[in-house]
Structure 1
Amino acid sequence: MHTGLVHTLDFDREGKTLGYLSIPFSVDRSPYFQVKVPICTIRNGKGPSLLLMAGNHGDEYEGELSLAKLIRRLDPAAISGRITILPMANAPAVMAAKRCSPLDGGNLNRAFPGDPSGTPTSRLAHFLETELFPRHDVVFDIHSGGTSMEHLPTALVERNADAERHRRGVELMRALGMPFGFVADNGQASPTSMGAARRAGAIGVSGEFGGGGTATVNSMTLTARALDRLMVELGVVAAPVLTSDAEPAKPTRLLSLSRHSQGIYSTRRGWFEPAVRLGDSVSTGQLAGWYHDLERLELAEEAMRFSESGIVLSRRLHTMCEAGDCLMQVAEPVEG
């Protein structure tokens, strides 16, 4: 009763079922407490099997809100196959409006493959990688920049050593209709949901759909369109569910983020003033911004410069920084 993760779901049951993944975790106020992670399964006959998840990080709202809508709007009769929906995978983080779980400090997207007898975040990661992901052909994990980051709207896949599966992953990434997409090189042992999906035999697709810890008209529109386009592309639905327009997807411009030198990092406490905007094309040596020391006002601000050329992919939103904070990232355009 005190380890693992329990549920009462029948993943082969026809129709729509709402339930919980329950993780035992004793706390001061409740010795037999269970972390409740909501989950919805929708099945109608044979067809593709798709897992949709959001709330991997608690302060990334586009996916959470969109998947909540999808649970309410999806009619089982309108799908072919199975759709499983986790609208708030790291539920404690969602409820606390934090990136990581307040129960154990766990960052779910760095917790895979997890541990069945570990912390709640680790137990959930283990269940996802070993039990839930293997039941699905495709895993779509929806992210955004969160409270501290502004991020260029991008789709994402991790590199797959299997050439055919990698090709299909890039194809699905393009089908989302996002303005940009990039391939991450995180290695076979990647602790992310995309690494877990790959090891589980599923094709993983992800993306960054907003930032700043808030949902906007633009970010919600991008998310809804991406969900509809993916479901239609896979054939699990015949027509869009969240959007009404049939606007064709524009070509996705591919980017690559594979080296630490593509980022600018702080080495001490300070205050960062940017000199470029998200999406700008920049070159090696170009000014990225100025780093101020408000505790030593006699010192001039320090010019921060890019080590590599490319397109500004992300920017830290919080002006005050500590040593180790990533201030900006630059992605390299990829041809073909």
Structure 2
Amino acid sequence: MHTGLFHEIDFDADHKWSGHLSIPFSIDRSPYFQVKIPIFRIRNGAGPRVLLMAGNHGDEYEGEITLARLFRRLDPANMKGEVTILPFANLPAVMAARRRSPLDEGNLNRAFPGDPSGTPTFRLAHFLEHELFPRHDVIFDIHSGGTSMAHLPCALIERQGPPDMFARALGLMEGLGMPFAFVAENGAEAPTSMAAAARARAIGISGEFGSGGTVTPQTMALTARAVDRLLLALGIIEAPVLGPHVPIEGQTELLALESHAQAVFATRRGWFEPAVVVGARVRDGDVAGWYHDFERPEAPEEVLHFPAAGIVISQRLHTDCQSGDCLVQVGRPLTRDEVSGR
């Protein structure tokens, strides 16, 4: 039977279950090939419903490792409610260690609301937004900076939904225990998982939990603590599953990413030398780095300046750059009154 995506999930069963989302897609090696995306379910009666996902981009590993570990450890007898785990959402991208799928060059986080008749990435996005997301109260989509980016570990929500839902999202995000968090302003029609969650009337939480296409003890510890704290806050578990965890050192610092004007972009081929590290506090006009031209080594390097004051939240890792590459971004510190609109 030709169909966009099919599965054998029993959403009403109390059990610990593993299976696949299956997406038919003919390839030269196999005319009846199916993309088999692992999906896990743990349910123990009525209660909070959370979807945990990672691998939205394939080269972002903290969530992928953490969520697979969570499934192995989570005991239905020691929880209530429902946990659905999608650790390798864009599986072809995960297996290729790429941001996008090699099957269709699809970026899952730019594919919502999807297309049930489209290529695999768009079929998956359609299933997530229209069938899976609406069955959950909270969607936690774990990201990282990926292979090409150094990123400040931080949580994220988008300014979506009615005020009470946004306030609940803000509280859950701050409860993750991350040192930084930011509120994105992408709009209700954005092609992201967080906008899709809002359209499905679920609370969406995300973030960048590492960077560089690798993991470190620090980024893994932050990710594990965030997952446990979310499940504890929702009342799904009564004790950490991935812990023990180090204590939280202070209140989450909130940042805003409101405009492309908070970033420096390359406008020609060049080689980027940063002047500061991620996490640095900078002023408008401070030196962000230098842009070199290896094809004209006799020419002086171009001095780049920060376009806004704030905290450096991301920076390109690859020195070799092309026109259009984002070199560095700055987050503007937010007060809690600004976030709540008071």
TM bucket (normalised to shorter chain) is over 0.9
C-alpha distance in 2, partners of 1:156/1:23?
A: 30
Partner of 1:36: 36
Q: One-letter code of the match for 1:53? A: M
C-alpha distance in 1, partners of 2:165/2:90?
A: 28
Normalising by the residue count of structure 2, what TM-score does the alignment of the two structures yield? Answer: 0.97
C-alpha distance in 2, partners of 1:145/1:329?
A: 12
CA shift, 1:11, in A, is: 1.1
C-alpha distance in 1, partners of 2:247/2:132?
A: 33
Partner of 1:103: 103
CA shift, 1:285, in A, is: 1.1
C-alpha distance in 2, partners of 1:249/1:114?
A: 40
Q: How does 1:109-188 map to 2 (within 5 A)?
A: 109-188=109-188
Partner of 1:289: 289
C-alpha distance in 1, partners of 2:250/2:63?
A: 21
Partner of 1:27: 27
Q: Which runs of 5+ in 2 are unaligned?
A: 337-342
Q: Is the 8 A contact 1:56 1:89 kept in 2?
A: yes
Q: How does 1:244-259 map to 2 (within 5 A)?
A: 244-245=244-245, 247-248=247-248, 250-259=250-259
1:73 aligns with 2:73: yes
SS of 1:11's partner is: coil
Runs of 4+ in 1 over 3 A off after TM superposition: none
Partner of 1:280: 280
CA shift, 1:248, in A, is: 4.6
C-alpha distance in 1, partners of 2:197/2:313?
A: 24
Partner of 2:237: 237
SS of 1:254's partner is: strand
Q: CA RMSD in A?
A: 0.9
C-alpha distance in 1, partners of 2:244/2:145?
A: 27
Partner of 1:12: 12
Q: One-letter code of the match for 2:170? A: V
CA shift, 1:249, in A, is: 6.6
Partner of 1:308: 308
Return closer, same or farther for 1:131/1:12 CA change in 2, 3 Å cut-off. same
Partner of 1:55: 55
1:90 aligns with 2:90: yes
Normalising by the residue count of structure 1, what TM-score does the alignment of the two structures yield? Answer: 0.99
C-alpha distance in 2, partners of 1:245/1:206?
A: 20
Deviations 1:140-187 (A, max 9, x none): 000000000000010000002411111000100001000000000000
Return closer, same or farther for 1:120/1:204 CA change in 2, 3 Å cut-off. same
Q: Is the 8 A contact 1:56 1:109 kept in 2?
A: yes
Identity %: 65
SS of 2:142's partner is: strand
Q: One-letter code of the match for 1:274? A: P
Q: Is the 8 A contact 1:176 1:249 kept in 2?
A: no
CA shift, 1:307, in A, is: 1.1
Partner of 1:213: 213
Q: Is the 8 A contact 1:182 1:255 kept in 2?
A: yes
Q: Which runs of 5+ in 1 are unaligned?
A: none
